Amino acid sequence: MRKTVEDYITTIPDYPEPGIMFRDITSVLQDAEGFHLAIDEMIRLLDGLDFDVVCGAESRGFVFGAPIAYALGKPFVLVRKAGKLPRETVRQSYELEYGQATVEMHTDSIRPGQRVVLVDDLIATGGTIEASAKLVERLGGQVSKIIFLMELAGLKGRERLARYDVDSVVIYPGK
C-alpha cells in the first residue's frame, strides 16, 4: 500500500495543552521518503499554473518553498520576521491571538506584475500568510496561489484567505 503525506505526520494529543491535537511535521522532514513525498504533493498542487516566483514564509515556508522553487526552476523569495533582512524592506504587521507580529520582504524581491506562489507548512488562522500576500501585492506582484502542506480547517484560516486560490495537501477538520 502506497503511503500518503498524512502517514508521515505525527499527531501528539494534548500538546501544548489538553484538547489540542498537535500535528508535527518534523516526522515528515526526518524521513527522506516522507519529505520527498511532501514536496512532490505540494508541487502537484501547482500543476498547470503559470507563475514566476515562489515565496516562503519564515521559517517552515523556507523548508518547503525552497525545494519547490528549485525543482520548478523558479526564484525563491523570503518573507522574514521583522529585523532579519539586511537591505531595504517593506513590512506588514498582523494580529496574533495575544499581540502582534510583523513580517518583511526586500523591496526588490518582487517586481511589478510578477505572479507569485506563497508557500508555508501550515494554515491555521491564516495571519502570517495573509500578511505575506499583502507584502507581495504592495510590491506590485500578484498572488497566483497559496499552498500549504497541511491545514487545520477548524481554525478557519481559509476563510481569512477567501480572495486567494488556496490549497493544502492534508486537511484536518479540527483545530
Catalytic center residues: 60, 97
> What is the three-class DSSP state of 161?
coil
User: CA–CA separation, 106 vs 14, rounded Å?
Assistant: 39
> What is the three-class DSSP state of 8?
helix
User: CA–CA separation, 80 vs 145, rounded Å?
Assistant: 19
Residue 24, CB-side half-sphere exposure with 13 Å CA sphere:
11
Q: Any idea which residue has 526552476 for its cell?
A: 73
Closest CA to 149 of 73, 69, 60, 71: 60
Which helix (H) or strand (E) covers residue 57, if one does? strand 53-57
Helices 60-72 and 32-44, packing angle to 10 deg: 70
4: left (phi over 0), alpha (psi -120 to 50) or beta: beta
